[in-house]
Amino acid sequence: MTELSTSTPSQTALYTINNPESVIEVFLDVETSTVREVKCLNHNRCKEYTYTAAEYLDRYSHHPAGMAVKAALGA
């Protein structure tokens, strides 16, 4: 997992998680098999995390976001 701080991406999120204190958007790049999570907390604090698709599915395959990634990959 790589932690980066970047601007908001222009593509549409594959999955969005709305928590009381944060919003998490999940993006998938099928060509490079990478998953990017953008987590935004209160007061405009955002962080970006990048995973390989395999690593993301190992961690989150039980979560609806992981299921969305798996479906998008056609696995």
Q: Give residue-wise pLDDT tens across range 10-63.
A: 578 999 999 999 999 999 999 999 999 999 998 889 999 999 999 999 999 999
Predicted model pTM: 0.80
Which band of pLDDT confidence, cut at 50, 70 and 90, is reported for residue 8?
Answer: very low
| Cα–Cα distance, 53 to 72 (Å, whole number) | 11
Residue 66 is part of which domain span? 2-73
Helix axis angle, 64-73 relative to 53-60, nearest 10°?
140
Residue 7 pLDDT grade (very low, low, confident, very high; cuts 50, 70, 90): very low
Q: Both tokens of residue 71?
A: 């479906």
**One-letter identity of residue 52:** T
| pLDDT of residue 4 exceeding 70 | no
Q: Please count the structural domains in the chain.
A: 1
The sheet carrying 15-18 orders its strands as 2-4, 45-52, 34-41, 22-29, 15-18
| Closest of 39, 34, 65, 67 to residue 52, by C-alpha | 34
Q: What is the pLDDT of residue 19?
A: 93
